[in-house]
Amino acid sequence: MPQLNESRKRILVTGGAGFIGSHLSDRLLAEGHEVICVDNLVTGCRRNIAHLNDNPRFSFRLHDVTAPLDVAVDEIYNLACPASPLHYQRDPVQTAKTAVLGAINMLDLARRLGVPILQASTSEVYGDPLVHPQPEGYWGNVNPIGPRACYDEGKRCAETLFFDYHRQYGVDIRIARIFNTYGPRLRRADGRVVSNFIVQALQGEPVTIHGDGSQTRSFCFVSDMVEGLVGLMSAGSGAIGPVNLGNPRECTMRELAQAVLAETASHSPIRYLPRPEDDPSRRKPDIGRARELLGWEPVVALDAGIRETVGHFRRLADLDSH
Ligand code: NAD
Ligand code: UDP
């Protein structure tokens, strides 16, 4: 189907009922576009998109991207894939299939339609990095047979497929390497560190730090991430990437726990648990390329983002107590 007009597009968001995908859908709808959200709800949920039910420019399709998809759209954002280690390790074969077959199916669709496609790749392609901070030119340090490999190698293979479809068939691709992103709509049972710490602090339960908490991550608030994704898509075929998107403010898990305890005014104790296998010890994006190509950089400070995210989990607790 042809584009409706110059500015209004019909856009496919796979993984659109998930954390980042639902915020991206909001943003695209706010710009006046149509959004077709495709999701199998393995880690996403209907609550994330419930506010869009009555929007005539939004539609939802329950579909697994490991199967081919036929839908007429002007642009594709491929976000479908569980992102939390807890969830992607639960069914590693399905995770690898989602990353690889999902990429093939969405690339085939983009090729058939002749439309641009953006891949939500990840800082996990750098594995446990030996170069710090991580620039896009770094090839990474990934254990190909460890418990994280279904995700890391799946996403690396997806990047390979994106570049091969680009070189072999001329598909118009974009690759965003997303670093740790957090914010409202994370699920209580998501299992990633920000939601775990906040939920534990609000419930007065021990805050679980893996190892001694000296490992680092760099946390990007979701509104900044959505800006970056939309900016990359609209930057055109001169900016295929890969482009790191993330907040270069690096922090230890101990610092994060302290920030969450301060914001929630919680007296939860800290409980130190064993470090998971292959848990990367340092991670911080070099965002020089995103600054240069997209004029993008994050604007939400960690404290402000944590405040918003704590607000989200307080509202969830209120909803569930009624
Ligand atoms: P999420 O788990 O909230 O969202 C993923 C969505 O994909 C969910 O709605 C899930 O139901 C859906 N999905 C999973 N497998 C599917 C399949 N086979 N078919 C259809 N739908 C499927 O995670 P998120 O944090 O919103 O991550 C979105 C994307 O961004 C993922 O591709 C992830 O790898 C990438 N990413 C996220 C982060 C982060 O910190 N949030 C970091 C790096 C990369
Ligand atoms: N982590 C932690 N406590 C938790 C969950 C995670 O200390 O309850 C640690 C985890 O070991 C890792 C960091 O927090 O060092 C980020 O983990 P997350 O699962 O959020 O993301 P990823 O490891 O994929 O970056």
Q: What is the CATH number of the domain that holds 17?
A: 3.40.50.720
Q: Where are the beta strands (DSSP E) in 153-288?
A: 173-178, 181-182, 207-210, 216-218, 220-221, 243-245, 250-252, 270-273
- Count other C-beta atoms under 10 Å from residue 211's C-beta: 15
Q: In a mutational test of the pocket of ligand 1, which residue from 79, 195, 220, 245 has the highest number of ligand atoms less than 8 Å from its CB?
A: 79
Distances in Å between the alpha carbon of 111 and those of 74, 116, 191? 12, 9, 36
Ligand in closest contact with the CA of 211: 2
Q: Two tokens at 285? A: 């994006």
- Each residue's pLDDT expressed in tens, for the chain with a length of 322 residues: 445 456 899 999 999 999 999 999 999 999 999 999 999 999 999 999 999 999 999 999 999 999 999 999 999 999 999 999 999 999 999 999 999 999 999 999 999 999 999 999 999 999 999 999 999 999 999 999 999 999 999 999 999 999 999 999 999 999 999 999 999 999 999 999 999 999 999 999 999 999 999 999 999 999 999 999 999 999 998 899 999 999 999 999 999 999 999 999 999 999 999 999 999 999 999 999 999 999 999 999 999 999 999 999 999 887 776 5
Domain total in the chain: 1
Atom of ligand 1 nearest to the CA of 80: 7
Question: Is-catalytic flag, 151?
Answer: yes
- Candidates 77, 88, 126, 151; catalytic one: 151
Is 141 domain-assigned?
yes
Q: Whose CA is nearest to atom 21 of ligand 2?
A: 192
Is 294 domain-assigned?
yes
Ligand 1 center from residue 166 Cα (angstroms): 23
For residues 162 and 172, give the distance between their C-alpha atoms in angstroms, rounded to a whole number.
9
The β-bridge partners of 11 are 35, 75
Range of the domain at 120: 10-182+220-248+283-299
Is 232 domain-assigned?
yes
Is 271 domain-assigned?
no
Please enumerate in sequence order all residues whose Cβ is within 8 A of that of 5, keeping only pairs 6 or more positions apart, or say none: none
Ligand 1 center from residue 99 Cα (angstroms): 10
Is 2 domain-assigned?
no
Atom of ligand 2 nearest to the CA of 209: 7
CB of residue 253 inside a 6 A radius of ligand 2: yes
Ligand 2 center from residue 294 Cα (angstroms): 29
Is 22 domain-assigned?
yes
Is 206 domain-assigned?
no
Atom of ligand 1 nearest to the CA of 82: 2
pTM exceeds cut of 0.85: yes
Is 116 domain-assigned?
yes
